[in-house]
């Protein structure tokens, strides 16, 4: 089975849509949130827990990190990333562009690619668009991403235009490397906060032709309102019949807002990173578990949550684990946060299926506001 995308239903009260992505390793129900498994692992959890308890359809793994350690050729010789990490469902791999963007002091970008120093041992490497695809092909990803140039906010129009043009150049070279493969390839729309550059990027990428299109260069320091404005402007520029992926955006409110704006796929380290820092998501807002008010609190994190953590452990115990710096704290907090995200996405899909997305969106905010007032 190759890659395909079908729209199951469109919501009548918003731009939200219910979809289904088919891949060689199974189906993905959209809108979907992809837990981030940077180095071939969703931190603190086993793949079986992510699949069976969190109910994740797909995870994201990182090309840059797996290229440096243990190496894509090692993973390929061991049967590919699915076998290597014992994950049977779809995998999306990013291109490594964002990680290299974060190494601003250790890299040099040209039209041919990116020269950079490893953050592990200082060794030098040169990542080209072709190599980015070769790595992802060796990993066996179901969905691959083009190498792109991500820029910080704010950036000048000239800097943004140059990076956008280079992203298109690299996208064409990535596409040339994927002819005849079953692995899907997504292009990445860049353009910063300039609508005219977003329009040009979206048009140029569609001229090349991809299996899906991502919105890159967002959540890099701009305001939430500005990010939403760029989504509003860009989504109508993208093909109706392909998935739309908003990269690196993942606050719960952003998932609700941007699914309603027609986004099909999300990823973010927020739920797992915040779990390790003791911040837990609930239907009624955030719980900072280290706070002293939870020292003798016998309630679960969220009395409406059916995750393993909430069914078995109290806030007091979770606070104790966190303050004692126990490894179990990371595990139980991560289980809860990812289960919350999985449930939120199920609720989003149900609202679209029933044609009541705006009602769902309103109730989402009412629950959180009620808790803040209390």
Q: How many structural domains compose the chain?
A: 2
In a domain, 340, yes or no: yes
pTM of the model: 0.97
Domain check: are 287 and 205 in the same one? no
Distance CA 167, CA 100 (A): 14
Give the whole-angstrom CA distance, residue 78 versus residue 83.
7
pLDDT at res. 339: 98
Residue 306, burial from CB neighbour count under 10 angstroms (0-12, 13-18, 19+): exposed
pLDDT the model gives residue 98: 82
Sheet with 91-94, edge to edge strand ranges = 32-34, 265-267, 244-246, 212-215, 184-189, 143-145, 91-94, 59-62
User: Where does a domain end: 241, 268, 295?
Assistant: 268
* Separation of alpha carbons 51 and 338, rounded Å: 11
Please give the residue range of the domain that contains residue 232: 31-268
- CA-to-CA dists, residue 290 to 27, 167, 278, 296, 321, angstroms: 39, 43, 6, 12, 9
* The domain boundary residue, chosen from 237, 253, 268: 268
Q: Are 338 and 351 in contact (CB under 8 A)?
A: no
pLDDT digits (tens), the chain, 374 positions: 799 999 999 999 899 999 999 999 999 999 999 999 999 999 999 999 999 999 999 999 999 999 999 999 999 999 999 999 999 999 999 998 888 777 777 789 999 999 999 989 999 999 999 999 999 999 999 999 999 999 999 999 999 999 999 999 999 999 999 977 789 999 999 999 999 999 999 999 999 999 999 999 999 999 999 999 999 999 999 999 999 999 999 999 999 999 999 999 999 999 999 999 999 999 999 999 999 999 999 999 999 999 999 999 999 999 999 999 999 999 999 999 999 999 999 999 999 999 999 999 999 999 988 665 55
Q: Does 171 share its domain with 291?
A: no
Same-domain check for residues 288 and 145: no
Listing DSSP states for 12-38 in one string gives SSSS-EEEEEEETTEEEEESEEE-B-T
Residue 282 DSSP symbol: E
As a 3-state breakdown, the chain gives helix, strand, coil percent values, each rounded to 5, of 45, 20, 35
CA 216 and chain centroid, separation: 11
Q: Are residues 48 and 160 located together in one domain of the fold? A: yes
Active site residues: 94, 267
Burial class of residue 19 in the structure, from the number of CB atoms within 10 Å of its CB (0-12 exposed, 13-18 middle, 19+ buried): buried
Same domain, 50 and 174: yes
**How far apart are alpha carbons 229 and 211 in whole angstroms?**
24
pLDDT digits (tens, 9 = 90+) for 74-88: 999 999 999 999 999
Question: pLDDT at position 101, please?
Answer: 78
What integer pLDDT is reported at residue 96 of this predicted model? 85
| Residues 165 and 253 both lie in one domain | yes
| CB neighbour class for 315 (10 Å; exposed up to 12, middle 13-18, buried from 19) | buried
Whether residue 2 is contained in a domain is answered as: no
Nearest-angstrom CA–CA distance, 285 and 88 = 33
Instruction: Give residue 105's pLDDT.
Output: 74
Same domain, 204 and 302: no
- CA 48/CA 90 separation, integer angstroms: 14
Task: Check whether residue 213 and residue 318 sit in a common domain.
Answer: no
Domain boundary among 268, 296, 326: 268
SS3 241: coil
């Amino acid at each position: 089975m190759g890659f395909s995308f079908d729209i199951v239903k469109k919501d009548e009260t918003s731009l939200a849509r219910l979809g289904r992505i088919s891949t060689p390793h199974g189906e993905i129900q959209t809108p979907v949130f992809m837990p981030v498994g940077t180095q071939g692992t969703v931190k603190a959890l086993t793949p079986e827990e992510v699949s069976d308890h969190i109910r994740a359809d797909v995870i994201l793994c990182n090309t840059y990190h797996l290229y440096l350690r243990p190496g894509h050729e090692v993973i390929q010789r061991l049967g590919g990333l699915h076998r290597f990490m014992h994950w049977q469902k779809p995998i999306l791999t990013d291109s490594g562009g964002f990680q290299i963007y974060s190494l601003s002091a250790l890299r040099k970008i040209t039209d041919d690619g990116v020269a950079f120093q490893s953050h592990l041992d200082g060794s030098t490497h040169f990542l080209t668009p072709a190599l980015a695809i070769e790595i992802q092909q060796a990993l066996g990803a179901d969905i691959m991403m083009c190498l792109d140039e991500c820029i910080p906010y704010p950036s000048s129009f000239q800097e943004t235009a140059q990076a956008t043009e280079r992203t298109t150049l690299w996208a064409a070279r990535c596409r040339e490397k994927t002819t005849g493969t079953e692995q899907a390839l997504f292009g990445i729309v860049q353009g910063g906060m300039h609508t005219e550059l977003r329009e040009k990027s979206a048009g140029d990428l569609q001229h090349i032709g991809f299996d899906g299109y991502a919105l890159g260069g967002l959540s890099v320091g701009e305001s939430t309102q500005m990010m939403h404005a760029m989504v509003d402007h860009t989504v109508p520029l993208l093909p109706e019949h392909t998935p739309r992926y908003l990269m690196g955006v993942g606050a719960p409110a952003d998932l609700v807002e941007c699914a309603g704006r027609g986004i099909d796929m999300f990823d973010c380290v927020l739920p797992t990173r915040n779990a390790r820092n003791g911040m837990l998501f609930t239907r009624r807002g955030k719980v900072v578990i280290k706070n002293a008010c939870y020292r003798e609190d016998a309630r679960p994190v969220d009395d409406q949550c059916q995750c393993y953590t909430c069914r078995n452990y109290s806030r007091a115990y979770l606070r104790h684990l966190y303050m004692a710096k126990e490894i179990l704290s990371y595990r139980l907090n991560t289980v809860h946060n990812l289960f919350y995200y999985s449930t939120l996405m199920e609720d989003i899909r149900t609202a679209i299926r029933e044609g009541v997305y705006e009602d769902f969106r309103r109730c989402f905010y009412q629950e959180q506001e009620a808790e803040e007032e209390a």
